[in-house]
């Protein structure tokens, strides 16, 4: 990729934060649930999560998956979680920085120092996390563009979602690298000509190295991040 104007475009969710699957212990502690109460593991153990498999097969949407998990946790705790944002805000507490992926923060800084623009392209940033969560994340001040379908109502993989982001960045698709943990959204990016990396929540550093490599930037594996 040319070293002219470039951009790193990230999904939020499991790309920037550790997933709720990875933080069951924290969730159980905060919500006063016995250790081991939450057993759904999504991509970390698909064999024991039929609801996740249904989502991956496009039988239900990602929003449907989390609505049902939110309702389950509400039933377990007796708390009035009517929206995903209610659950996330309660589970993540007052310090959202604690659940950020260090690999994400390192990759964002590498891209910024390399002169790349930064963008978030999310289907549900404020819908799932709440606007207050976003406001507590200091690193987002470095982002040039945040496109959130909570407000645009245009969900990936609809090509219009990617085009909205490209228009705000003022860059062609080929100058941007998109990172997402959902295969359908990767296919959507590639359909509009945007190089894309399917983020592996089981190996986040390799995924970020793939994205940085496409941008012609130093890799995390070459630095001090462990």
Query: In CATH, what number is assigned to the domain containing residue 179?
Result: 3.40.50.1000
- Here the tokens at position 92 are 């993540």
* 106 plus 213 within the same structural domain: yes
CA dihedral of residues 180, 31, 52, 196 (deg, nearest 10): 0
Q: Domain span at residue 37?
A: 24-96
44 in a structural domain: yes
Average pLDDT value for residue range 125-148: 89
Last residue of a domain, one of 96, 119, 148: 96
2 in a structural domain: no
Residue 226's pLDDT is 46
* 104 plus 209 within the same structural domain: yes
pTM greater than 0.95 (yes/no): no
Given a cut of 70, whether residue 199 has pLDDT beyond it is: yes
Last residue of a domain, one of 64, 96, 128: 96
pLDDT tens digits for 18-43? 999 999 998 999 999 999 999 999 99
The residues near 91 (Cβ < 8 Å, ≥ 6 apart) are 20, 23, 26, 27, 30, 31
Number of domains in the chain: 2
């Amino acid at each position: 990729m040319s070293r002219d104007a470039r951009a790193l475009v990230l999904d939020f969710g499991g790309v920037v934060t550790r997933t709720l699957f990875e933080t069951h212990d924290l969730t159980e502690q905060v919500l006063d649930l016995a250790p081991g109460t939450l057993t759904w593991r999504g991509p970390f153990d698909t064999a024991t999560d039929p609801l996740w498999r249904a989502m991956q097969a496009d039988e239900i949407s990602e929003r449907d998956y989390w609505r049902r998990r939110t309702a389950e946790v509400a039933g377990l705790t007796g708390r009035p979680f009517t929206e995903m944002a209610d659950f996330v805000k309660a589970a993540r507490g007052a310090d959202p920085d604690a659940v950020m992926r260090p690999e994400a923060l390192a990759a964002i800084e590498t891209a910024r120092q390399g002169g790349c623009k930064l963008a978030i392209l999310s289907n549900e940033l404020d819908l799932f996390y709440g606007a207050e969560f976003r406001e507590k994340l200091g690193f987002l001040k470095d982002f040039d563009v945040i496109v959130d379908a909570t407000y645009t109502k245009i969900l990936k993989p609809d090509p219009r979602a990617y085009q909205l982001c490209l228009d705000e960045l003022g860059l062609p698709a080929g100058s941007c690298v998109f990172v997402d943990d959902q295969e359908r959204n990767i296919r959507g990016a590639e359909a509009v000509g945007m190089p894309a990396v399917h983020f592996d929540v089981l190996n986040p550093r390799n995924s970020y190295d793939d994205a940085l490599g496409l941008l012609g930037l130093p890799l995390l594996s070459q630095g001090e991040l462990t």
